[in-house]
Amino acid sequence: MSGAVRGAPHPAAGEGGPPLIGITTYQEPARWGFWVREAALLPVPYVRAVERAGGVPVLLPPAATLRGLDTMISRLDGVVLAGGCDLDPELYGAARHPETGPPQPQRDRFELALVRAAVDADLPFLAICRGMQVLNVARGGALVQHLPDAVGHRGHAPAAGVVGSHRVRTGEGSRIGLILGASSEVPTYHHQAVSRLGKGLTAVAWAEDQVVEALELQGHRFGLAVQWHPEEGDDRRLFEALVAEAAGR
């Protein structure tokens, strides 16, 4: 990183204005009006969650070039790495499982670079679902490509296109535990998960079947990751903690 200042918030946050929170987007075919085009898009619950927590959401499309990444990082106060498609298993040295989705190399490349830049700049971030997997792979970790093979059930994504729920327990003394308490009922929709942890990452929450449900990046100002979808529920505490940290409060 050449352009970002470690731990320095955007001037707007330091002056008491709401912090700018970048949110990564999907890149998918979409339809509106007469048009069917490839689009950078994002489910609205992410935007609303940041707004309700007091932040200003800024959408970050998966750019074809990383030329402006330093500038982007230097102007944001925090980042949310959103959910979405499966990462290319070649990125963590694995053969493709039949249930793994098709690769999206542009999004993978952009988000891996983005999270590494956020780490280098000590920029607060919250990584969600795919975002947690991006963080783990960026730090040299690996993934379980299809959870039903590993745990023997589909409880983490009970029906196609339907968000389910399950309980997680959090580690004592973890930052996520301090935010959420010892256990929480969380919205869930994922068929992949962390297997080998990446460098500097600590598992801090687990489902009843021992699937890792949250990570924290040690030594980082605010580097949290959850496998569930907090934007789909009513509990705003993770977003509020991110926005508060991004605002320098």
Q: Tens digit of pLDDT for each residue in 95-135? A: 999 999 999 999 999 999 999 999 999 999 999 999 999 99
Q: What angle do CA 115, 78, 116 make, to 5 degrees?
A: 15
- pTM here is 0.93
Please give the DSSP secondary-structure letter assigned to residue 162. Answer: B
Structural domain 20-30+37-247, CATH architecture: 3-Layer(aba) Sandwich (3.40)
Q: Please, which pLDDT band fits residue 7 given cuts at 50, 70 and 90?
A: very low
Mean pLDDT of 227-233: 98
**What is the pLDDT, as a whole number, of residue 15?**
60
**What is the pLDDT, as a whole number, of residue 16?**
65
**What is the pLDDT, as a whole number, of residue 5?**
39
pLDDT exceeds cutoff 90 at 9: no
pLDDT exceeds cutoff 50 at 230: yes
pLDDT exceeds cutoff 80 at 1: no
- Read off the pLDDT of residues 66-105 as tens digits, 9 standing for 90 and up: 999 999 999 999 999 999 999 999 999 999 999 999 999 9
Query: Among all chains, which residue has been given the structure tokens 């970002």?
Result: 4
Domain boundaries, the chain: 20-30+37-247
- Read off the pLDDT of residues 164-202 as tens digits, 9 standing for 90 and up: 999 999 999 999 999 999 999 999 999 999 999 999 999
- Read off the pLDDT of residues 31-44 as tens digits, 9 standing for 90 and up: 999 999 999 999 99
Q: Please, which pLDDT band fits residue 46 given cuts at 50, 70 and 90?
A: very high
Q: Please, which pLDDT band fits residue 8 given cuts at 50, 70 and 90?
A: very low
Q: Please, which pLDDT band fits residue 241 given cuts at 50, 70 and 90?
A: very high
Give catalytic residues, as residue numbers: 129, 229, 231
pLDDT exceeds cutoff 80 at 238: yes
**What is the pLDDT, as a whole number, of residue 249?**
66
Q: Which residues of 163-195 are buried (b: 16+ CB within 10 A; e: fewer)?
A: ebebebbbbeebbbbebbeeebebbbbbbbbbb
The burial of 208, by beta-carbon neighbours within 10 Å (0-12 exposed, 13-18 middle, 19 or more buried), is given as exposed
Which is higher by pLDDT, 122 or 11?
A: 122
